[in-house]
Amino acid sequence: MAWFRNLSKFSAINVSHQTQTRNRSAHPFLSSSFDFASRRFISSVNHPTEEKPSVEESSKNRIQYPGLGPTKPHEKPRVVVLGSGWAGCRLMKGLDPKIYDIVCVSPRNHMVFTPLLASTCVGTLEFRSVAEPITSIQPAISREPGSFFFLANCIGIHADKHMVHCEAVTDGYKHLDTWRYTVSYDKLVIALGAQPTTFGIQGVKEHAIFLREVHHAQQIRRKLLHNLMMSDLPGVTEEEKQRLLHCVVVGGGPTGVEFSGELSDFIMRDVRQRYAHVKDYIHVTLIEANEILSTFDDRLRRYATKQLTKSGVRLVRGIVKDVQAEKVILSDDTEVPYGLLVWSTGVGPSPLIQSLNLPKSHGGRIGVDDWLRVPVVQDVFSIGDCSGFVESTGKPTLPALAQVAERQGKYLANLLNRIGKAGGGHANSAKDIELGEPFVYQHLGSMASVGSYKALVDLRQSKEEKGISMAGFVSWFIWRSAYLTRVVSWRNRFYVAINWATTLVFGRDISKI
């Protein structure tokens, strides 16, 4: 009987081992190589010991899974794009998939059309109208065998080994919390954007809502509608109603002004008709340390101030020194109670950008030369809000605008295509290739909506130069027409046009979903 028990135990162990082997070989990230629907994947080291990401490990027991290994000489070179903002998506759209395999690493699988994001907060537009899938922008990512999209965050870069460290965005799947892998590149484009600045003010991250992503707009909408319904409940005091229905916006740039204008339109045209019991309590306050819309002409700023005030927006000049759960405290100790707090004071480099051992420009951005290359390292480029010219170029750091990022993405796509056609697409092979004309940015102008079918249009290249600057209904029509043509796909243009028409005829949807 003893030999029979041992034989049974041996058989069970053998079956378990075979099952684990089959499971490992069936999963692409648990095997050293595989061929999945003819899309070549990967050979990598499971547990690298000599290299560590530039950010600290949050856990000692992280597991390094295989990733995309280096390309071979007979294969297409690989361009890895970090980020899916204006710069990264315009770059991917312009890259030639016949020359390169394209790999995008980003925590979101879509691009956000940020100029219209404020309109989604109050129901003027639906959320899907401002989100463009990456696979629609560059179809090769879903069709070509060597091109991929990875839903992940970049956690480190080894420029000397042409390797990027990634960590999957798991959205709460605990069995995937340690999912890390590496992606090798021939050309790397860092387009990670920027993060909202809080200036170190305590309580901002805990209590304020930013307006940079679709989920931010969804959060603002839910909070706004929830406060409206809570304020209508029996037993709510007058003071509590005033607090719940007080919407405070910090930051008088284009984002803050446009959101304030959209919110005032929502209050005047929808809330006061459908929430008659609380219509006299809801109001908007815009807090700015200096002048609102500081990049616009003085005449346009005065017009914006007059129009916002006329629409019921209270303008307060002050500096926020503390944010608490139900009130904002200014530098003069003035307390401003709020039910909704939106923070839009500008952007700055993210912790990852600051931690990278790469040259930096003014403000902590990644430094680039005239051709948007990162000096010192090979085959690394940087575009968008996370990059700026190094001091040796003599060029100022460009503003964090969508048009800057888009123009850089378009320029770099053409440059990389030219390098690839000249045989310099693979790693360390573009040293002697003529790069052509350097990148030059020319400002096309600025636009901003202030509500009540009014907008500002400033088409001058700078405040000191002469040019077209106008305000009013015609400017509002130009503003809408320009953004409608700039929406990436015809599908979303159709969505936006239909949403605008529906809102004009039937009003905004105030359902809390």
Condensed to tens digits (0 to 9), the pLDDT of residues 309-342 reads: 999 999 999 999 999 999 999 999 999 999 999 9
Supply the pLDDT for residue 40.
43
User: What are the backbone angles phi and psi of residue 488, rounded to the nearest 5°?
Assistant: -65, -50
Predicted local confidence at residue 448, as pLDDT:
95
* 246-250: strand order across its sheet: 209-210, 340-343, 246-250, 283-288, 313-317
Q: Between 1.10.3720.10, 3.50.50.100, 3.40.50.620, 3.40.50.720, what CATH number should domain 209-348+444-506 receive? A: 3.50.50.100
Q: For the chain, give the percent of residues with pLDDT over 70.
A: 86
With a cut of 70, say whether residue 229 has pLDDT above it. yes
pLDDT tens figures, 269-307 = 898 888 888 888 999 999 999 999 988 988 999 999 999
Structure confidence at residue 2 as a pLDDT band (50, 70, 90): very low
- By mean pLDDT, which of 34-43, 107-116, 262-271 is the weakest? 34-43
Mean pLDDT to the nearest integer, 389-398: 92
pLDDT mean over 38-64? 43
65 or 70: which carries more pLDDT confidence?
70
- Residue 298 is which amino acid? D
The average confidence (pLDDT) of the chain is 86
Point out the least confidently predicted range of 39-53, 232-246, 381-395, 450-464. Answer: 39-53
What pLDDT is stored for residue 467 in this prediction? 77
For the segment 169-190, the average pLDDT, to the nearest whole number, is 84
Strand order in the sheet with 469-472: 446-451, 454-458, 469-472
Residues 6+ apart with CB under 8 A from 233: none
Going from the C-alpha of 68 to that of each of 80, 183, 409, the distances in angstroms are 11, 5, 24
Long-range contact pairs involving 155-158 (C-beta distance under 8 Å, separation at least 24): 155/53, 155/54, 155/55, 155/180, 155/352, 156/52, 156/53, 156/54, 156/55, 157/54, 157/188, 157/190, 157/356, 157/358, 157/380, 158/51
Domain ranges of the chain: 78-194+349-422, 209-348+444-506
Rounded mean pLDDT, 222-227: 94
pLDDT above 90 covers a percentage of the chain that reads 74
Do 78-194+349-422 and 209-348+444-506 show the same overall fold?
yes
Q: Residue 307: its pLDDT value, please?
A: 95
Query: Using 50, 70 and 90 to split pLDDT, how confident is the model at 12?
Result: very low
Looking at residue 174, its pLDDT comes to 63
The residue with greater pLDDT, 369 or 3, is 369
> 512 or 127: which carries more pLDDT confidence?
127
Angle, alpha carbons 228-231-237 (nearest 5°)? 160
| CATH T-level topology, domain 78-194+349-422 | FAD/NAD(P)-binding domain (3.50.50)
Confidence label for 112 from pLDDT (cuts 50, 70 and 90)? very high
What's the pLDDT score for residue 6?
45
Which three-class secondary structure string do you get for 77-117? Answer: CEEEEECCCHHHHHHHHHCCCCCCEEEEEECCCEEECHHHH
pLDDT of residue 138: 96
Q: Which residue has the tokens 């899907």?
A: 128
Helix (H) or strand (E) holding 287: strand 283-288
The rounded distance, in Å, linking the Cα atoms of 313 and 257 is: 10
Window from 164-173, 183-192, 290-299 with minimum mean pLDDT: 164-173
pLDDT value for 170 = 82
The 3-class secondary structure across 178-203, one letter per residue, is CEEEEEECCEEEECCCCEECCCCCCC
